[in-house]
C-alpha cells in the first residue's frame, strides 16, 4: 500500500461545477496536510494547508481533513477554466518528525470546460 493514494483522473467538469478532489493515506503520524496546484510545465504552487482534522476555507476553496478515516479533500466551488491544472495533495509529520520532506499523491488532472 502506498503512503498516499490519489485518483489521477483525469477529471473533466463544466464551468461553475463543484469539484471534489480526494486523497487517502496510511501513516497516522501525518499531521500537516497541503494541496498544491501545478499548471503544465510549471512548479507546484501551494494552495492550502491544514493542521490535523477540520476544515479550512479560502475563497472558492475548502480543504477538509478527517484523520480518523485518513482522508483529505479539496473542494472547489464555482470552478473556472483557469482552475484547469493538476492538483497534488501532500502531507508531513511536521517539525520534529522523522522526515522533513513532504509525501505527495500522484496528482489529479482537472479540466474545467467553458
Per CB under 8 A, residues contacting another protein are 32, 34, 36, 41-46, 49, 51, 88, 90, 92, 94-95, 99-107
Closest approach, Cβ 14 to another protein, in A, equals 27
Residue with the three cell numbers 499531521 = 31
Closest approach, Cβ 92 to another protein, in A, equals 6
Q: Please give the Cα distance from 8 to 28 (Å, whole number).
A: 23
- Alpha carbon of 39 to those of 2, 23, 47, 89, 91: distances in Å? 25, 19, 12, 14, 20
Nearer to another protein, 40 or 114 (CB): 40
Nearer to another protein, 51 or 71 (CB): 51
Closest approach, Cβ 25 to another protein, in A, equals 14
- The pair phi, psi for residue 83, each rounded to 5°, is -80, -5
- The pair phi, psi for residue 82, each rounded to 5°, is -70, -10
Nearer to another protein, 60 or 106 (CB): 106
Amino acid at each position: 500500500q502506498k503512503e498516499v493514494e490519489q485518483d489521477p483522473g483525469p477529471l473533466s467538469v463544466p464551468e461553475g461545477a463543484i469539484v471534489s478532489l480526494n486523497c487517502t493515506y496510511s501513516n497516522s503520524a501525518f499531521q500537516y496536510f497541503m494541496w498544491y496546484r501545478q499548471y503544465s510545465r510549471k512548479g507546484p504552487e501551494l494552495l492550502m494547508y491544514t493542521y490535523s482534522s477540520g476544515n479550512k476555507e479560502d475563497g472558492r476553496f475548502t480543504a477538509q481533513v478527517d484523520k480518523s478515516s485518513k482522508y483529505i479533500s479539496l473542494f472547489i466551488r464555482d470552478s473556472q477554466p483557469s482552475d484547469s491544472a493538476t492538483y497534488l495533495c501532500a502531507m508531513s509529520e511536521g517539525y520534529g518528525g522523522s522526515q522533513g520532506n513532504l509525501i505527495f499523491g500522484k496528482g489529479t488532472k482537472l479540466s474545467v470546460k467553458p
